[in-house]
Structure 1
Amino acid sequence: MVCKPIALVLAAGRSQRFGADKRQQRLSNGLTLLQSSLLLPCAVFEEVWLALREDDPVPLDLPSKVRIVQCASSRLGLGHSIAASVQRISAVSKGQALAVFLADMPFIHASTLDTLLASAAPDRICRPAYQGKTGHPVIFGRDFWAELSQLAGDSGARSVVQANSHAVHTLTVDDPGVLIDIDRPSDVPPAQSV
């Protein structure tokens, strides 16, 4: 690992396509979607941040290492949630790279994270690709945090990746989990082990 990385798990969305709070959807492993999506970051990173909506009650069943950012403007889109989170994290963290996870993607393999972290650096953006399609998590070196803290809208950090294509390292992984998210009840596998 080239630099000290930290994790941000984005969970401030409204679950509109799911029809209910998908973060509380119970998976076949007995854990909620949110708990399942926190397993890998909590196992790997010393510092884990969780972005929630401003009006969210803080879940009591979170691992003790998880620090909360409540995003006042999350209703305006993913970019706003990223910006609010990175502003808070930048002010208090000494991390040199930020691995951005989505809370509806619990099937990412630990080996994928190992591959990404081996290439992480303050001046790089590292992202996985499976069968030619890029996915998550994306690791942003600290050099890009100022840009992340200015995001708005609902297209996430795509603009930061596009504006800094010279710094993007796309790493091929054998992990369909980098592409699989749970947006609708039909996306929940009936007997998926996480």
Structure 2
Amino acid sequence: MQKTSAIIMASGFSKRMGRNKLFLDYQGQTFLEHSLNLAKQLDFFERILVISPENLAQVSLPQGVKVVLNHEADQGQSASVRLGTQAASGEGYLYLTVDQPLLDESVFLPLLTAFSTGNIVFPVTKAGDPSSPIYFGKDFRTELMQVTGSSGGREVRNKYPEKWCKINVEESEKLIDIDTISDYQELLAKTTYERNLP
């Protein structure tokens, strides 16, 4: 596999949640711990965590994680994209958010095989909707370091549809992102229900 930098974006404000998503608990680990552990399990060239100073103070990091402090979190997700890309030295960049607690290795394996320096790889649901995580080859580095606003890398993705490599994920529930308290409560309720099934 080519040298891919995994960039974990963990400096948002969780405005719709009303609580810090990084430290929500799911099955014995926080959302952030889940993302860090998942990145550790996969064969990435490097792992970069983009996080605000106040959140870093509450985190115990595994070995081998490069930390980039985001003092510009108020600028939206684009600040994390710019900072993470600038710190990366791989041949491509995989951007992970921390609000997908059901992501597992099975989602990543078909993504990894599609990585190349000139394409954009992302999973799609059964309905064909694009999702995170998203990969950009190093050909897009300059533009990723210039993104602005809250859309992050989407503006770069949408500019190059001819470069897309869409990976269908049959178990679309693994791509779910938790944005609100009701999303989180639904996740916990469903997990409890499934655990109690005979």
Comparing 179-188 and 96-105, the one that deviates more:
179-188
Structure 1 residue 59: Cα displacement: 3.9
1:107 aligns with 2:112: no
Instruction: Output aligned runs, 1:46-125, within 5 Å.
Output: 46-89=45-88, 93=89, 95-125=90-120
Q: Of residues 135, 141, 144 in structure 1, which corresponds to 2:140? A: 144
The AA in structure 2 aligned to 1:30 is: G
1:180 aligns with 2:176: yes
Larger radius of gyration: 2
Structure 2: runs of 5+ lacking an equivalent: none
Runs of 4+ in 1 over 6 A off after TM superposition: none
**TM-score, structure 1 normalization:** 0.89
Match of 1:35 in 2: 33
**TM-score, structure 2 normalization:** 0.87
Give the match's secondary structure for 1:14.
coil
For this pair of structures, how many residues does the alignment match?
187
Q: Does the CA contact (< 8 Å) of 1:105 and 1:177 recur in 2?
A: no
CA distance in 2, matches of 1:177, 1:68: 30
The AA in structure 2 aligned to 1:122 is: T
Higher relative contact order (CA 8 A, sep 6+): 1
Structure 1 residue 171: Cα displacement: 1.5
Comparing 59-68 and 135-144, the one that deviates more:
59-68
Structure 1: runs of 5+ lacking an equivalent: none
1:64–1:58: structure 2 CA closer, same or farther, 3 Å change rule?
farther
1:133–1:23: structure 2 CA closer, same or farther, 3 Å change rule?
same
Give the match's secondary structure for 2:29.
coil
CA distance in 1, matches of 2:92, 2:123: 15
The AA in structure 2 aligned to 1:121 is: S
Match of 1:19 in 2: 18
**Identical pairs, percent:** 30
Comparing 17-26 and 175-184, the one that deviates more:
175-184
Q: Of residues 139, 150, 153 in structure 2, which corresponds to 1:154? A: 150
Q: Does the CA contact (< 8 Å) of 1:109 and 1:175 recur in 2?
A: no
Q: Does the CA contact (< 8 Å) of 2:3 and 2:45 recur in 1?
A: no
**What's the Cα RMSD here?**
1.8
Give the match's secondary structure for 2:117.
coil
